[in-house]
Structure 1
């Protein structure tokens, strides 16, 4: 049999049809998309739906083991997208009733047709551990019951992600469409008719993995910057071409090929001040090159200074006779954030104000605070881009220490939102966000000299998540409501360099401090943990007092008084 590879672009109406019967193999990782990715997907779809009335939206590709003419499709790549799109379609379907609900429900479940030998069944079967959960709550449209479940009591992270993302989609649909059936239907029609996936299929497992490897390889194929370079250097005066080509190549060596491509994306943002909706190769000439007088000016006055600023920001190598350490400290924390949306603002500032160290310190302290607010509060990418665009717009005018860029300051409502999140359930945040917050707080409490390796970090509860009857904890914490109120909050969490013996997590306080929290020499690498080691008791009053103290530190250091 010929192991033919086929690929075609299909609308979601076809992707979620009887032509495909998706199965997620047991060896695949669990469903891992969090509310951040779900919010970004919804934001991207709604933004495109609102502004591009006739264009089609490309969602990427999926790789399947699938025999031609047979629906069974083993998903090698694309399960995160297929699962999230199914949750979104379920959230949409739940808004409808009658024939409209039946229509949209057919994208979640095969209704079955006896004449064609099709039995009723879900269109997507997750890994065995989550399959029934997903079929019952999502594909069975029991979304209200799903959202009402206590996430702590769910079996695994995958199910918690499913529950939270369903909640996110339901909230966003309600916020945006306010119950308008007609508008919801239009949005649903856009998703199934104008949103496309490329399905790459082969009957051979070996071939499917080869396709997956090629699609995800990071080889030295042409990058957009290579093609842009051809046009730009070609437009330079012939007698200057060698010089400008050398400048270009030196910058690319310093940043690396991928880093250089990232620089061009950030330059596009500096000029366009909005989210990219098309490929860089299409947008860069239109949004940047056309606005610059000449190819020579583009290289010397745009690409070179912004690339140098990018290297300073990424490598934390700001130099000045004073305040350089403070600036590089702020840059270090900015680089710990798991998105680079802050970089265009940093690049624009560093390219224009490299010598004013006092103003540079002021600016980067506030950029770090703004980026930290959006990171800790899980602000989605569209709102992040819009917020940074306001800063970039304000930076177009003259600004200095005397007249600083006020747009970079947190507004009062942003400060209130930040404090509300800091006061809430920290442990349930995505691990990287909560670890960032804990380390940032620990740095505020130290003299600033501490260096942290987040790969070694684990967060542990002082008051354990499970309080044993008759224990010291039960005497100090007789109220289950108090336990639930405080267990996951900031005051009850301590950073450790590695996970200790899991049995020690439920030790009484004195034993827990010595056997679990203290290092080999009876001390901890972290100020937050050392403070707990000095406590004699850990009652609700102790935790409440500590919570107030820690929030006060964050309020002061991040200047969060509204």
Structure 2
């Protein structure tokens, strides 16, 4: 009824399959983080980033294709007559893979190697006979981004060239952002590593292809895979595994505890098992396989449940709840900062830090602070998720070993290159990562104020005091006549404050005096933050004020996270850092709307 085959990427992209995205499909919507995660996973599986042995195969999921109406395809094989198939499910993965392959093709500099030609034949189908040959792109998108996909990604040489579009749509901008991120990561690799990755994707990555031959049946398959029915979740599989091997009395008790943890963690229960697998060093295994290995290593289901599952699940409840009403206030504050961050690569380390916090609260507080430090610094470094996960995996090994650990331990150090990287990225960090830049400003504001305002980050937006695009007749243009200098100062950390979107709209290109009045009129519902209050005492806003404030904020980062960024600036040295004792405030955290 539904012809199915397991195909390598080269078989799918080199065979008789000419792929079209139907009109009813949504535009390309994978973001940079999803695409980067796919690249990290592929690099890890291919062994090109860790130096380890490559996986024999890598499964990329299933795609649903629609054959030509009325076609009676009973079996998929490479000798079928080339024809068009509609992509009903799997568009995002296929478009992302093609973008990745296009960048690998265009970065090839060794003309003696066949990588470029091989990938070219995967992305551009050869049709017709030997005497009358035509070409078409392997995939046709149906929406506005088709031209961008073909002209700036699939076309040979185009993916590594700068692209200037007057007013790109969100899908177009997303495609180009993913392409440029792939280019940035892959250009740092050697030709050999890129060839290894390209060959691994082509020959070792598999996709299950399911084909329907009419739109109704194909769409039904899409609905079943994506919407209808309750999928058997990982925790259901693991629960069955564990309870089946326990005695009746223990199983009854375990069911109650399992359900309690499921209720306490809510949506976090499913991700918890991924964190558990990572804690025990099985991050490369699929989650169920990884947890099963932990069960075996623990000595069986009963020991796993009592000694591993329960303590770690309870610790994760503390992590997700910010330790409210349980942990000392200093630790609650650190968890609030961590939980604001996009992606939870830090969570496994935090779980380990809190597992036995009652027995040594000072060690737990120190470890949480160091986890927050590494989480922020690796984001300021613009490290990908794979690098962050590996960094925390090293820390987890040390934490689980039980050896003494303090601020001088090698696992907590930033290399000189990493410090230089952070210093470089901070020059225009808002452009690189607006969300984390906002969280950085909030964090620095709390340090300026000496207390934490527990507010919703979504209430605030980043405002450039020196406007990004002042009018040609604006006094800002006269004060900052050099366009090059103005561009540099606009993105400076010293030029950024946090205000509401409504205030931002009013302040955008206003004069300095008008901006100050807008900033100062904060409402009781959305209070004025210290990072913005910091600029209100300035009588003017010139280059000197921006640079001086930038130095103050960078010095604050140096003291807060034990890094020497000012030392990267010729002739500028920070004062010596003083050790910070872990304190337990007696007053509760101040919550604001």
TM-score by length of structure 1 reads 0.85
Paired residue for 1:139, among 146, 154, 162?
A: 154
Is 2:280 aligned against 1:276? no
Q: 1:203 to 1:405 in 2, by over 3 A?
A: farther
- Secondary structure of 2:290 counterpart: helix
Instruction: Give the Cα separation in 2 of the matches to 1:150 and 1:420.
Output: 28
Equivalent residue for 1:194, pick from 178, 191, 204: 204
Q: Deviations 1:126-174 (Å, cap 9, x if unpaired)?
A: 454332233222212234762x4579x7735544544454444345444
Q: CA deviation at 1:302?
A: 1.2
Gaps of at least 5 residues in structure 2 are 74-81, 566-593
Could you say what secondary structure the match of 2:498 adopts? strand
Partner SS state of residue 262, structure 1: helix
1:33-66 CA distance string (max 9 Å, x none) = 21x4444323322222235657221122334455
SS state at 1:192 partner = helix
Aligned residue in 1 for 2:474: 471
Task: Report the counterpart of residue 371 of structure 1 in structure 2.
Answer: 375
Structure-1 separation of matches of 2:25 and 2:416:
45
Secondary structure (helix, strand or coil) at the match of 1:557 reads: helix
The residue aligned with 1:361 is 365
Alignment correspondent of 2:571? none
**1:380 and 2:384 correspond:** yes
Gapped runs of 5+ residues in structure 1?
A: none
Please state if 1:260 is matched with 2:269. Answer: yes
Distance 1:319 1:458, change over 3 A: closer
Q: For 1:281 and 1:479, locate their aligned partners in 2 and report how far apart those are by CA, in whole Å.
A: 58
Give the structure-2-normalised TM-score: 0.81
Residue 215 of structure 1 is matched in structure 2 by 225
Q: CA deviation at 1:269?
A: 1.6
Cα deviations across residues 351-380 of structure 1 (Å, max 9, x unaligned)? Answer: 123243322222211111111122333322
Q: Distance in 2 between matches of 1:461 and 1:207?
A: 53
3-state SS of 1:89 partner: helix
SS of equivalent to 1:561: coil
Find the aligned partners of 1:121 and 1:345 in 2 and give their Cα distance: 49
Superposed, 1:287-298 pairs within 5 Å as 288-298=294-304
Report SS of the residue matched to 2:122. Answer: coil
Counterpart-to-counterpart distance in 2, 1:368 and 1:389: 15
The answer to whether the 8 A contact 1:24-1:125 is kept is no
- The answer for the alignment partner of 1:312 in structure 2 is 318
> What secondary structure sits across from 2:63 in the alignment?
strand
> Does 2:91 match 1:90?
no
The alpha-carbon distance between structure 1 residues 141 and 164, as it changes in their structure 2 partners (threshold 3 A), is farther
**1:498 aligned residue (497, 501, 516):** 501
Aligned residues: CA RMSD: 3.4
Greater displacement, 126-135 / 384-393:
126-135
Q: Give the drift of 1:197.
A: 2.4
Aligned-partner Cα distance in 2 for 1:65–1:512: 57
Contact residue 359 and residue 400 of structure 1 kept, 8 A: no
Q: 1:513 to 1:107 in 2, by over 3 A?
A: farther
Match of 1:48 among 30, 37, 45: 45
- Aligned partner of 1:396 in structure 2 is 400
- Judge which range, 9-18 or 115-124, deviates more: 115-124
1:469 to 1:415, Cα distance in 2 relative to 1, 3 A: same
Change (3 A) 1:56 1:264: same
Describe how 1:10-409 pairs up with structure 2 within 5 A.
Answer: 10-17=7-14, 18-23=16-21, 25=23, 28-34=26-32, 36-50=33-47, 55-67=56-68, 68=71, 71-94=83-106, 95=108, 97=111, 100=114, 101-113=116-128, 119-126=134-141, 128-143=143-158, 146=161, 148-149=162-163, 155-156=168-169, 158-176=171-189, 178-180=190-192, 184-202=194-212, 208-217=218-227, 220-256=230-266, 258-272=267-281, 274-277=282-285, 279-286=286-293, 288-317=294-323, 324-399=328-403, 406=409, 409=412
State the 1:309 CA deviation.
0.6
- What is the SS of the residue equivalent to 1:463? coil
In the alignment, what sits opposite 2:589?
Answer: none
**1:462 CA displacement:** 1.8
Task: Name the SS for the 2:468 alignment partner.
Answer: coil
Q: Distance in 1 between matches of 2:84 and 2:211?
A: 11
Query: Helix, strand or coil for the counterpart of 1:20?
Result: strand
Q: Does the 8 Å contact 2:64/2:87 carry over to 1? A: yes
1:264-296 per-residue CA deviation (whole Å, 9 max, x = no partner) reads 222222222x5233x32222222x112223433
Rounded Cα–Cα distance in structure 2 between residues aligned with 1:523 and 1:316: 22
Give per-residue Cα distances to partners, 1:171-193, cap 9 Å, x unaligned. 544443x234xx65454232222
Once residues 234 and 424 of structure 1 are traced to their aligned partners in structure 2, the CA distance between those partners, rounded to angstroms, is 57
**Alpha-carbon offset, residue 481 of structure 1:** 0.7
Query: Following TM superposition, by how much is the alpha carbon of 1:25 offset from its aligned partner in structure 2, in angstroms?
Result: 3.9
Q: CA deviation at 1:483?
A: 1.2
Shift of 1:350: 1.5
| Superposition deviation, residue 310 in structure 1 | 0.7
Tell me the SS of whatever aligns to 1:59.
strand
Report the equivalent of 1:485: 488
Distance 1:261 1:235 in 2: 21
Question: What is the CA–CA distance in structure 1 between the aligned matches of 2:542 and 2:304, rounded to whole Å?
Answer: 63
Within the candidate set 6, 9, 29, 2:6 is matched to 9
1:542 shift after superposition: 1.8
Partner deviation per Cα, 1:290-324 (whole Å, 9 max, x = no partner): 2223433222111111111110111112666xx71
